[in-house]
Amino acid sequence: MLPAAAAPDGAVPPALPATNNVRRSFSCPSLYHYRLNNCRVNKKFEGEDVSLHQLLHELGLTSKTPPKPSEAIPCFTIHASKGMEFRHVYLMGLVEDQLPSWTAVKKGDNSLEMQEERRNCFVAITRTQETLTMTFSAQVFGWVKQPSRFLREMGIEL
């Protein structure tokens, strides 16, 4: 059997003989559903040796995302990539109104928003260990776009 759920004060509620009695024991809906699930799992695995993985899966506590294959290409936002490094980095969307954002462009070249966008671009570039590929598009969703000012600031003329 699985251990009973402990109350916030540390007290362990007595084992309940049947699932339909759970509702009377708890006033908190989330605790009620937790205990109901606990009773269901107890009944399913009664008298069996259960691995931790089986138990976590049955309680809905395992990852729903399948493990990624080793050849998978990870995709991150610039913010999510902070603190990580990669052999190859592809920085896409270096166009005005995207990097830098429309808000930063609207506020002006010396605004705090534009400075933050520059720092974000720097963060993205410095994630690179071996190769960096930067891209831009002349059109985005049918709108004509200009290359990012950050490309010019890096000495890259297009």
* Percent residues over pLDDT 90 in the chain: 35
| Domain contains 100 | yes
* 99 vs 56: which has the higher pLDDT: 99
Q: Is the pLDDT of residue 36 over 80?
A: no
List helix spans (H) across the chain.
22-25, 29-44, 52-58, 102-107, 112-125, 149-153
The dihedral built from the CA positions of residue 42, 43, 45 and 47, taken in this order, carries a sign that is positive
Mean pLDDT of all residues in 15-22: 50
Q: Is the pLDDT of residue 72 over 50?
A: yes
Domain boundary residue, one of 38, 67, 96: 67
The C-alpha atoms of residue 5 and residue 157 are separated, in whole angstroms, by: 64
Task: Say if residue 61 is in the same domain as residue 85.
Answer: no
pLDDT in tens, 120-158: 999 999 989 999 999 989 998 899 999 999 999 999 887
Task: Say if residue 63 is in the same domain as residue 125.
Answer: no
* 134 vs 36: which has the higher pLDDT: 134
Output the pTM of the full model: 0.53
Domain boundary residue, one of 16, 44, 67: 67
Task: Say if residue 96 is in the same domain as residue 121.
Answer: yes
**DSSP string computed for 31-73:** HHHHHHHHHHHHHHTTTS---HHHHHHHTT-S-SSPPPPTTPP
| Domain contains 73 | no
| Domain contains 62 | yes
Confidence at residue 140, expressed as pLDDT on a 0 to 100 scale: 86
Task: Say if residue 149 is in the same domain as residue 87.
Answer: yes
Task: Say if residue 83 is in the same domain as residue 118.
Answer: yes
Task: Say if residue 60 is in the same domain as residue 83.
Answer: no
Mean pLDDT of all residues in 60-75: 73
The C-alpha atoms of residue 40 and residue 32 are separated, in whole angstroms, by: 12
Confidence at residue 1, expressed as pLDDT on a 0 to 100 scale: 44
| Domain contains 103 | yes
Neighbours of 93 (CB within 10 A): 14
Task: Say if residue 2 is in the same domain as residue 63.
Answer: yes
Contact 12, 6 (CB under 8 A): yes
Task: Say if residue 54 is in the same domain as residue 119.
Answer: no
**Number of domains making up the chain:** 2
**Average pLDDT taken over every residue of the chain:** 78
Task: Say if residue 39 is in the same domain as residue 90.
Answer: no
Residue-number span of the structural domain to which 95 is assigned: 79-153
* 105 vs 66: which has the higher pLDDT: 105
